[in-house]
Structure 1
């Protein structure tokens, strides 16, 4: 055996004896259970109260905990709207002292269907009058005429809407009983659409979940009141 072969064999034996032992396999990390999630959320809340973290980080912890606790997005949607409806209905009941206050309000609107319709026509006419002035460019008139063009158009159209009471009353009598049957849907639908537009305006920019939840309360309360009113209206 040559000297070179002997040196290579000796070098292999030295490397084999000085090799580092293999690291043991890492134990799998267990996902935190429900108690662990609650503890994590509690620690984050306590840290936020002590000023050790920001509200944005706390909101992220809450969203993460909610997503892990209720992974189904449909259930989260139901909880979001259900709690908003319950809060609005309880507040309305506590304020008026009547758990059926929302349904009673819709019933009162049905008893004054002509006045409610006139009010809706007046609001719509005022909106059309304001934008009609812009469409024909009267607001670009010089001086005071341009400044007063839109208010004058809105007031004139609203005045016309206020005088449609007799026409509406005659139309309701002519097409009875369909106007009376469709009136609850139209009243609740119109009010709901208005509240929906208001909510969209409030939450147009990115908002935190509490603000979005508060903005949903009026619309959810209206839906509950309509559902409570519907059985009595169909009898």
Structure 2
């Protein structure tokens, strides 16, 4: 790994001082680093802005685990006359969509089709995957806003806005599309995000780079 001109102040860590040059013992690795290690740190820092984009998706989809559940509590949750679905169970639609999306994405549809168009063995690049995931997430947020407009409009027409425990005559399955879209967005975003962190990081720091993914998932948790 060759030296770069970015963030030259990090290069000071690789400068041998007079005391260290005159020392007969092994170098203190807390005070003296190799150029290779300095460049590895620089490469990780260069990855942070793009990697942090994953926080945007987690932040915007986090409402599906909180506010959307509260929405479901006020809506008609009957699947049949005798079967009523619990509000927290609706996240299963996002999970199932993500699992199905992974199968279609890699094996059956997306990657084979994209490979023919782009000539890229992976279909599309990591950044393109992340971009598609963000676009789908934006659409999911727009859909969620329209569902909330409909829910509040029906509540207003039935004079239920001031009754937080009232059951609004709107089927809870209006919430399913946004769960499915969030699951599809996570399919593209998480795959692209992990591939970016793994393949763009130095080989000796791939485990650290992959750990960034888990950290970013918990920032808005």
TM-score after normalising by structure 2: 0.30
Question: Does 1 or 2 have the higher relative contact order (CA < 8 Å, sep 6+)?
Answer: 2
* Higher helix proportion: 1
TM-score after normalising by structure 1: 0.29
